[in-house]
C-alpha cells in the first residue's frame, strides 16, 4: 500500500503533468497562429508526452492500491513575445517540474517508500532529457535571433520530431 503522503504528492503531480500538457498545447496554438507548423508539431508531441507522464502516476497510484484524486487544472498562458520567449518559458517550466519530482522523491525517501523511489527514478532521468530538449532549442533560437530563413529551417527541423 502506498503511503498517504506520497499518494497525495503524486495526485498533485498528475495535475502538474496535465498542466504541463495544457501549457504546451497552448504553445502549439500560439505557433500555429504564427504560421510555424514545425514548432507547433514539436509542442503538440510534448503535450502528448506530458499526458503520458500524468498517466504513469495515475497507473502507479492505482497499482499500489491508492486513491486517485483529480485536482483542478489552471488556465495556461497563451501569448509570448517570440519563439524564443516561449521556449525560454518551456525551459523554466521544466526546471520547475524537476524540482517537483525531486520533492516527491525526497518524500518517498522519508516515508521509506521503496517502490515509489524506484518509479520516481524514471522521472528523474526523464527530467534530465526534458530540460536538455528545451534548453537546446533555446540556444538554437538565441543564435538565430529569429531572422527570416533560419527560423524557417529550424521550424522544418522541429516538424520532424517523432511521437512517443
| Interacting residue with ligand FEO among 11, 50, 84, 120 (CB under 6 A) | 50
Q: Which 141-160 positions form the footprint of ligand FEO (CB under 6 A)?
A: none
Q: Can you tell me the distance from the alpha carbon of 47 to that of 57, in angstroms, rounded to the nearest whole number?
A: 16
| Interacting residue with ligand FEO among 44, 94, 104, 117 (CB under 6 A) | 94
| Interacting residue with ligand FEO among 23, 83, 97, 119 (CB under 6 A) | 97
Q: Can you tell me the distance from the alpha carbon of 31 to that of 83, in angstroms, rounded to the nearest whole number?
A: 8
Q: Which 115-134 positions form the footprint of ligand FEO (CB under 6 A)?
A: 130
* Residue 19 or 30 having the CB closest to ligand FEO: 19
* Residue 61 or 97 having the CB closest to ligand FEO: 97
- Shortest distance, CB of residue 63 to ligand FEO, whole angstroms? 19
Q: Is 53 in the site for ligand FEO (CB under 6 A)?
A: yes
Q: Can you tell me the distance from the alpha carbon of 126 to that of 120, in angstroms, rounded to the nearest whole number?
A: 10
- Binding residues for ligand FEO, rule: CB under 6 A, are 17, 20, 50, 53, 94, 97, 130
Amino acid at each position: 500500500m502506498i503511503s498517504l503522503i506520497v499518494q497525495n504528492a503524486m495526485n498533485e503531480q498528475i495535475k502538474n503533468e496535465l498542466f504541463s500538457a495544457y501549457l504546451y498545447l497552448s504553445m502549439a496554438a500560439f505557433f500555429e497562429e504564427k504560421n510555424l507548423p514545425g514548432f507547433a508539431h514539436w509542442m503538440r508531441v510534448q503535450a502528448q508526452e506530458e499526458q503520458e507522464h500524468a498517466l504513469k502516476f495515475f497507473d502507479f497510484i492505482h497499482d499500489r492500491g491508492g486513491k486517485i484524486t483529480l485536482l483542478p487544472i489552471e488556465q495556461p498562458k497563451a501569448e509570448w513575445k517570440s519563439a524564443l520567449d516561449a521556449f525560454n518559458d518551456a525551459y523554466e517550466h521544466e526546471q520547475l517540474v524537476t524540482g517537483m519530482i525531486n520533492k516527491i522523491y525526497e518524500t518517498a525517501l522519508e516515508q521509506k517508500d521503496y517502490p515509489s523511489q524506484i518509479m520516481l527514478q524514471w522521472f528523474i532521468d526523464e527530467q534530465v532529457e526534458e530540460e536538455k530538449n528545451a534548453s537546446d532549442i533555446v540556444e538554437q533560437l538565441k543564435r538565430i535571433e529569429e531572422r527570416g530563413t533560419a527560423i524557417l529551417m529550424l521550424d522544418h527541423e522541429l516538424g520532424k520530431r517523432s511521437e512517443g
